[in-house]
């Protein structure tokens, strides 16, 4: 059967999460005058934040932490690491971060070029584990909305990738069959294992050349390679 539907992950596949996050955290570091609070460099602050944020997201994915708690706790724990114990600063910082970072517009190299080339040939959709209100802001601000027919967040699906429920929900919303669909994403577990377990073709966007034991349908290091596979 020919391929008709492409399901993309958003963060780190198209929207450059790391670059946008780094820019926003640097901005907030200055805005909240963290150097005066004893954190001498933004890079130092961001390095610790990223480690703590990863742990908090793990807990969120396992439903051990709510969305609201995640947003404050990741900053509360980071500040605590630097000897600052402040719920109000963590809350304010967390609110600023959630409000501002989705408006940033750095995309992974080759995003627009790829989507422009694929658009006449495929129906394209998003399946993302991000939050409903946040992901739509990212898509709008970085001019990506027009490329996608269906945008499914884990919040709307009621399940996070790699759960088959998230994929099945997206397929149903898009009116797509499993056999005529491909999942494209950067995360081995959520995107690739999730799709493979369901019997869906997957293209692994392995930007960091991570070694692994999965067998995706195809694997690329750059987005531009995807057009060679699909066109």
- For residue 91, whether the previous peptide bond is cis, meaning omega lies within 30 degrees of 0, is no
Choices 8-16, 25-33, 58-66, 104-112 (CB under 5 A): range interacting with Mg ion:
8-16
Choices 149-157, 163-171, 181-189, 201-209 (CB under 5 A): range interacting with Mg ion:
181-189
Element spanning 125, H or E: strand 123-128
Report, in Å, the least distance between residue 15 CB and Mg ion.
Answer: 9
Q: Is the dihedral of CA 69, 12, 131, 138 positive or negative?
A: positive
Interface pattern 133-172 for Mg ion (x via CB under 5 A): ----------------------------------------
Q: What b/e string do you get for 106-126 counting C-beta neighbours within 10 Å, with b at 16 or more?
A: bbbebbeebbebbeeebbbbb
Residue from 5, 12, 71, 104 in contact with Mg ion (CB under 5 A): 12
Q: How far apart are the C-alpha atoms of 214 and 1, rounded to whole Å?
A: 23
Q: Between 11 and 123, whose beta carbon lies closer to Mg ion? A: 11
CB 162 within 8 A of CB 190: yes
Report, in Å, the least distance between residue 31 CB and Mg ion.
Answer: 27
List residues binding Mg ion (CB under 5 A): 9, 11-12, 186-187
């Amino acid at each position: 059967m020919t391929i008709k539907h492409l399901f993309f992950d958003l963060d780190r596949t198209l929207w450059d999460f790391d670059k946008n996050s780094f820019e926003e955290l640097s901005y907030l570091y200055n805005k909240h005058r963290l150097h005066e609070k004893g954190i001498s460099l933004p890079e130092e602050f961001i390095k610790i934040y990223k480690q703590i944020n990863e742990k908090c997201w793990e807990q969120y994915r396992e439903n051990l932490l709510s969305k609201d708690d995640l947003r404050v706790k990741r900053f509360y724990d980071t500040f605590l690491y630097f000897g600052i114990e402040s719920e109000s600063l963590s809350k304010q910082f967390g609110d600023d971060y959630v409000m501002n970072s989705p408006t940033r517009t750095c995309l992974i190299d080759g995003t627009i070029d790829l989507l422009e080339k694929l658009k006449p040939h495929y129906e394209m959709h998003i399946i993302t584990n991000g939050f409903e209100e946040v992901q739509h802001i990212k898509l709008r601000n970085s001019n990506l909305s027009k490329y996608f027919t269906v945008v499914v967040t884990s919040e709307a699906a009621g399940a996070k990738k790699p759960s088959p429920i998230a994929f099945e929900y997206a397929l149903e919303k898009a009116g797509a069959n499993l056999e005529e669909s491909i999942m494209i994403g950067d995360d081995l577990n959520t995107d690739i294992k999730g799709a493979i377990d369901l019997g869906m073709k997957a293209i692994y966007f392995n930007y960091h050349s991570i070694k692994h034991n999965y067998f995706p349908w195809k694997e690329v290091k750059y987005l531009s390679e995807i057009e060679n596979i699909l066109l």
